[in-house]
Amino acid sequence: MKIATFNINGIKARLPRLKEWLAETRPTVACLQEIKSQDDGFPADEFAELGYEAIWHGQKSFNGVAILVDGSKPVEIKRGLGIDGPKDGEGEQSRYIEADVDGVRVVCIYLPNGNPHPGPKFDYKLAWMEKLRARMAEIWAEEIPCAVVGDFNVIPHDDDVWSPKAMASDALMQPESRDAYSRLLADGWTDAVRTLNPRGGVWTYWDYQAGAWQRDHGFRIDHILLTPELADRLEAVGVDRDHRGREKASDHAPVWARIRD
DNA sequence: ATGGCAGGAAGGTCCTGA
């Protein structure tokens, strides 16, 4: 089983590139973030043509997550963590969807960015991370093989970013953000990409601005966290970097982990 | 040097992202 996560930055704008990636790399499970589409506008037919069935949790303009599965329909378990957005009365943002796929629990998340720091958006990020931790603990307690994947918007270590100095004031690498991420790992979850790249230096995001891609000014914020059973079966991980360099690319590259059957 | 660029929805510009 190959589990992938890809922040696509708009499903309408990215559709040709996204279909190309699915056809070329054929992940078993593809978790998408920032679909930026309402539920009605989700192009499920386009994926069905490629053999993928999907569930999705959309929202107008921003956020939005989806899970695509090759050859079967993901069985939805939960959507949303039950936490309102940072503005009064806006309700919950579409950042969480959870499903069962062939005996594996798959959680697809788009964790709040948290900029600017400090401020209400950063507070929201930390509150969201605690909600996530509580949900992950519930799944852990049920002893279900599980992968929590997505855009965590956390740079875990200084060697996960091209320049810690340049990013020092960013919400992605504040000590509070890193501590909250570390607590997930301390609970027992395995960071798949880190485990197979212990010296860091792996990027999953390059800004559109200031020639970041051309200069390789990237960092790692898209993660795959595994329960022990899946971590024991972890075979390989990768970042599909070449898809970041194509025309009309997302600012994130797809990240994947291969799990032995 | 607080820039730069992209997507979405609106609408001839603003908000958001990281």
Residues A206 and A249 sit within 8 Å (Cβ to Cβ): no
- Is A110 one of the annotated active-site residues of the chain? yes
Which residues, given as ranges, of chain A have pLDDT below 50? none
Domain count, chain A: 1
User: Which residue is closest to B7 in terms of CA–C1' distance?
Assistant: A10
List pLDDT tens digits, range A66-103. Answer: 999 999 999 999 999 999 999 988 999 999 999 999 99
Please confirm, yes or no, whether A151 is among the known catalytic residues. Answer: yes
Q: What is the CATH number of the domain that holds A38?
A: 3.60.10.10
Is A191 in contact with A220 (CB distance < 8 Å)?
Answer: no
Q: Given CA atoms A161, A27, A108, A133 in this order, what sign does their dihedral have?
A: negative
pLDDT attached to residue A75: 98
Percent of chain A surpassing pLDDT 70: 100
Q: Which domain holds residue A118?
A: 2-259
Give me the catalytic one of A52, A96, A151, A181.
A151
pTM check: above 0.95: yes
- Written as six digits, the tokens of A118 are 């400090």
Whether nucleic acid strand B comes within 7 Å of the CB of A38, the answer is yes
Question: Which nucleotide shows the minimum CA-to-C1' distance to residue A13?
Answer: B7
Q: Which nucleotide is nearest to A114 (CA to C1')?
A: B18
pLDDT digits (tens, 9 = 90+) for A200-223: 999 999 999 999 999 999 999 999
C-alpha A153/C-alpha A210 separation (Å) is 20
User: How many Å does it take to go from CA A226 to C1' B6?
Assistant: 32
State the pLDDT at residue A160: 97
Q: With residue A17 as reference, give the H or E element that holds it.
A: helix A11-25
Q: What pLDDT is attached to residue A88?
A: 86
Which tokens sit at A261?
């059957």
